[in-house]
Amino acid sequence: MSYTKNIGNAAEESVARVMMHKGFTLIAKNYNVPGSGELDLVMRKGSCIYVVEVRSRLTTDWQSPLESIDYNKRKKLLKTTRIFTARNGLSDMDVIFLAGCVTHNREGVVQKIEIIPFE
């Protein structure tokens, strides 16, 4: 497995742990719809579904993890979320999109985790 993939997996695990510690339930991880996209984490708390796009960056990168979720990525997330909720009988639930922003050092050690809503 590549360095980048290992960092990405560690970031997803870190964000999932933080959210579960706050009372969220993980209902899907790396949910993939060919031709549409992938949902990194799908969490549930109360009557809401939370779709979490996890992004990790070196602490020295100029671009924040949130800034890396561009228009095209948001469009794919929306399309994939619609498919996910329809297939899983969750279409009537409110959906909130979150960015799980993880910064790490060159060794891959997590330095900071922020979970930020976005539209």
pLDDT per residue rounded down to tens, the chain (119 residues): 666 677 788 899 999 999 999 999 999 999 999 999 999 999 999 999 999 999 988 766 666 667 789 999 999 999 999 999 999 999 999 999 999 999 888 887 888 899 999 87
Q: Residue 2 has what pLDDT?
A: 66
Q: Residue 63 has what pLDDT?
A: 67
Q: Residue 57 has what pLDDT?
A: 82
105 residue type, one letter: N
Cα 90 to Cα 105: distance, rounded to the nearest angstrom: 38
114 residue type, one letter: E
Domains of the chain in sequence order: 3-117 (3.40.1350.10)
